[in-house]
Amino acid sequence: MAEQSPEIKGGGSLILAWQVRNKRILMVGGGEVAAGRIVNLLNADAKVTVVSPREGLNPEVAYRIKHNQVTYIDRKFQPSDLDDPSIVMVLTAVDDPVAGSEIYKLCKEKRIPANIADVPPECDFYFGSVHRDGPLQIMVSTNGKGPKLANIVRRQIAANLPSNIGDAISQVGVLRRKLRKVAPGIEEGPKRMQWYVCAVI
C-alpha cells in the first residue's frame, strides 16, 4: 500500500480558488502593480478599499475610483486601516519596503492574510499568471520565483486550448444544475454522474 502513495515534494504552495465575492479587501498603494491587483479583485466580485495618496495614482486606478468601482481613501496607510473587522485580505504595492514590512507585521498580529508585492518572504499567498475564459480559470505559479516565466508558460497553455472551451464549460454547468433537479438525492449521485458522462462524451 505504501508503494502506491504519492511521493511528497515539499516547497510548493496550496493552490486554491479563493472565493472573495462581497468580501472586503484592503489595497495599499495605487500604482501600476496595484492596478493589476484591483482588476483581479473586481473580477472576483470583491469589495475593494484603496488607500493611497492621490498624487501617486496610476491612471487605471484613478478610473476605478472615479467610477466608484472601489472605495478610496486619499492618504498613506495608517495602522487603524486594519481595524475594520470585515477585512479578509490585505495587498500592498508600495515603493517603501520598510512600510511594506511594517504592514505585514501588523497583518500577522491581526491574523489577516497579506501579500506584500515583490517581497516573497512577506506573502501569505502569491498571485500567479491567470488565463480566463468565462468560468475557466487556469493559474500558473512559480511561488514568487519567476513571475515573467509563469506568464510565458500560461500563454503556451492557453494557446493549446479549444477556442470555445469557456462556452462549453458554461453549458456543462447548466447540465449539472438540470441533473440535480431531476435526481436531487445524495444517493442518486452515481446516477447523475452516469448521465453527465454520457451527455458530455
Domain boundaries, the chain: 24-127, 128-161, 165-200
Q: How far apart are CA 100 and CA 141, in angstroms?
A: 22
Q: How far apart are CA 106 and CA 97, in angstroms?
A: 14
pLDDT at 185: 79
- 11 DSSP assignment: S
Sign of CA dihedral 88, 142, 121, 8: positive
Assigned C-alpha cell, 185: 438525492
Q: Does domain 24-127 have CATH number 3.40.50.720?
A: yes
What is the pLDDT averaged over residues 177-200?
A: 74
Q: Does the structure show a pLDDT above 80 at 199?
A: no
Which among 3-17, 127-141, 176-190 has the top mean pLDDT?
A: 127-141
Query: Please, what is the Cα angle at 104 between 140 and 18, to 5 degrees?
Result: 40
pLDDT at 24: 98
For residue range 91-135, list pLDDT tens digits in order.
999 989 899 999 999 999 999 999 999 888 899 998 888 898 988
- Out of 44-53, 61-70, 158-167, 170-179, pick the least confident: 170-179
> Active site includes 118?
yes
The mean of the pLDDT values for the chain is: 90
What is the pLDDT averaged over residues 19-47?
A: 96
* Catalytic residue chosen out of the listed positions 74, 81, 118, 133: 118
- By the 10 Å C-beta count (0-12 exposed, 13-18 middle, 19+ buried), 73 is classed as middle
For residue range 65-102, list pLDDT tens digits in order.
999 999 999 999 999 999 999 999 999 999 898 999 99
Decide which of 201 and 59 is more confident. 59
